[in-house]
Amino acid sequence: MIASPKLWLTYAWADNDDRNVDHIVGKLRSTGIDVYLDREQLRKGHRLWTQIDKFISYPASVDAWAIYVTRNALESEPCQEKLAYALDRALRARGGSFPVIGIFKDRLPREIIPSSIATRLYVHLSDTNWHEDIAASLTGAPLPRVNDPGPVGYELKVIDNERFLIAWPRIGYWPTAAIAFPEGVFTSTAMREKRPDRPVVAMTRFTNGSLERSGMWNLGERRATVFGVASDVFTLGGPFDSIIRFAVKLPSYKGRVAVGGVAGDKFLDLVELDIS
């Protein structure tokens, strides 16, 4: 049996507060890569980069090193210095052929990408096959998908005594966000005079912990069959991503919803939830 390649994944732990990194790990493991995470391997109270250096410098530990980097980290001088140090140590210890892979959340200007990564493989999460590109650079038997939280992040949140469903794409963005309810439960702003018995869906944006109170409205309404159920679909123009999130006011609703993105007539990353 061929051993699965071992990939060390380094990232800022705050970038996984919403389990976005867990989603990345799930995608990589589904291609046959054995992923080692900083938070699982490093010891608390010890110097971070010294421990990373120890793991990536010895051939028996890992076969490749991947770095999940946000724009903020690359534009921070202390982070750049630490990253450059670790890259230099890894390449000196393992040689120039040692795979160093950059995983970038957004498309970044070439000039801010460290040269040690820019001259090797790096991927953007907005590319559909980013995980397959990484797998193609390594070899190994497939591993089962492990603990992948799915493409949509979401939470129920009470803000100013009102309950909201907050949703966002873990990777990439939605040009328009959508939420679907079973047919006949809610109505849109445009149709409320014809359907006075139904509450209007209130949707807005949620950014950096705050609601955009001035824009609680909805863009459109249409009928569709969603996950086999006749549904009313309500949409709000974006773009939406992991920073600018989609928020829907759900004062007392309990039951099934589907939430995700829309591009034209196509649903993106649609997931079904049970709101209780």
Ordered domains of the chain (ranges, CATH): 6-136 (3.40.50.10140), 152-275 (no CATH)
Between 165-174, 186-195, 229-238, the lowest mean confidence (pLDDT) is in 186-195
Cβ neighbours of residue 55 under 8 Å, at least 6 residues apart? Answer: 8, 36, 41, 61, 62
Which pLDDT score, from 0 to 100, does residue 164 have? 92
Give the count of alpha carbons within 13 A of 33, CB side only: 26
Distance CA 81, CA 88 (A): 11
The residue ranges of DSSP E strands in 213-254, in sequence order, are 220-226, 229-240, 244-249
Rounded average pLDDT over 199-213: 84
Q: What is the pLDDT of residue 247?
A: 93
The per-residue pLDDT for range 106-134, each reduced to its tens digit, is 777 666 677 767 777 788 887 778 888 88
Q: Does pTM surpass 0.85? A: no
pLDDT at 262 over 50: yes
Is residue 92 helix, strand or coil? helix
The upper half-sphere exposure of residue 56, i.e. CA atoms within 13 Å in the direction of its Cβ, equals: 31
Cβ pair 10, 70 in contact under 8 A: no
Structure confidence at residue 60 as a pLDDT band (50, 70, 90): low
Dist. CA 231–CA 14, nearest whole Å: 37
7: pLDDT confidence band, cut at 50, 70 and 90? confident
Tokens 């609680």 map to which residue? 216
- Within 8 A by CB and 6+ apart from 68, the residues are 9, 10, 11, 12, 15, 21, 24, 103, 104, 105
186, 185, 167, 190: which is closest to 177 by C-alpha? 167
- Is residue 157's pLDDT more than 80? yes
Mean pLDDT over each residue of the chain, to the nearest integer:
78
Query: Which two three-digit tokens encode residue 157?
Result: 């949140």
Q: Is residue 18 pLDDT above 90, yes or no?
A: no
What's the pLDDT score for residue 56? 65
pLDDT bracket for residue 79 (50, 70, 90): low
Phi, psi dihedrals of residue 13, rounded to the nearest 5° = -60, -30
